[in-house]
Amino acid sequence: MIILGIESSCDETAAAVVKDGRILLSNVIASQISTHTKYGGVVPEIASRKHIEAIVQVVRQALEEAHTDIEEIDAIGVTYGPGLVGPLLVGVSYAKAYAYGCGKRLIGVHHIEGHVSANYIDNKELEPPFMCLIVSGGHTHLVNVTDYGEYEILGRTMDDAAGEAYDKVARAIGLGYPGGPKIDAEAKKGDPEAIAFPRAHIDGDEYDFSFSGLKSAVLNYLNSCEMRGETVIREDVAASFQAAVVDVLVGNSMKAVDKYGAKKFAIAGGVASNTALRDAMGQACDKRGMSFYRPSPILCTDNGAMIASAAYYRALRNGYAGLALNAVPGLKLGETI
Ligand code: KG4
Ligand code: ZN
> What does the pLDDT look like over 274-331, one tens digit per residue?
999 999 999 999 999 999 999 999 999 999 999 999 999 999 999 999 999 999 999 9
Between the CA of 314 and the centroid of ligand 2 the distance, in Å, is 19
Between the CA of 230 and the centroid of ligand 2 the distance, in Å, is 38
Q: Which pLDDT belongs to residue 184?
A: 98
CATH of 128-294, one of 3.40.50.10190, 3.30.420.40, 1.20.120.420, 3.30.470.20: 3.30.420.40
CATH no. for 2-117+299-316:
3.30.420.40
Indicate the length of the chain as a whole number: 337
Q: Which pLDDT belongs to residue 337?
A: 57
Nearest alpha carbon to residue 327 among 85, 138, 99: 85
pLDDT digits (tens, 9 = 90+) for 105-154: 999 999 999 999 999 999 999 999 999 999 999 999 999 999 999 999 99
What distance in Å separates the CA atoms of residue 267 and residue 292, rounded to the nearest whole number?
8
As residues whose CB is below 5 A from the ion ligand 2, the structure lists 136, 302
Nearest alpha carbon to residue 190 among 238, 153, 150, 260: 238
pTM of the model: 0.97
pLDDT digits (tens, 9 = 90+) for 201-241: 888 888 999 999 999 999 999 999 999 999 999 999 999 99
Residue type, 312: Y
For the chain, where do the domains classified as CATH 3.30.420.40 start and end? 2-117+299-316, 128-294
The percentage of the chain sitting over the pLDDT mark of 70, rounded to a whole number, equals: 99
Residues 6+ apart with CB under 8 A from 4: 15, 16, 17, 59, 62, 63, 73, 75, 76, 77, 304, 308
The whole-chain average pLDDT of the chain stands at 96
Confidence label for 336 from pLDDT (cuts 50, 70 and 90): low
Where does ligand 1 bind, in terms of residues with CB under 6 Å? 10, 136-138, 163, 166-167, 178-181, 184, 269-271, 273-274, 301-302
Confidence label for 188 from pLDDT (cuts 50, 70 and 90): very high
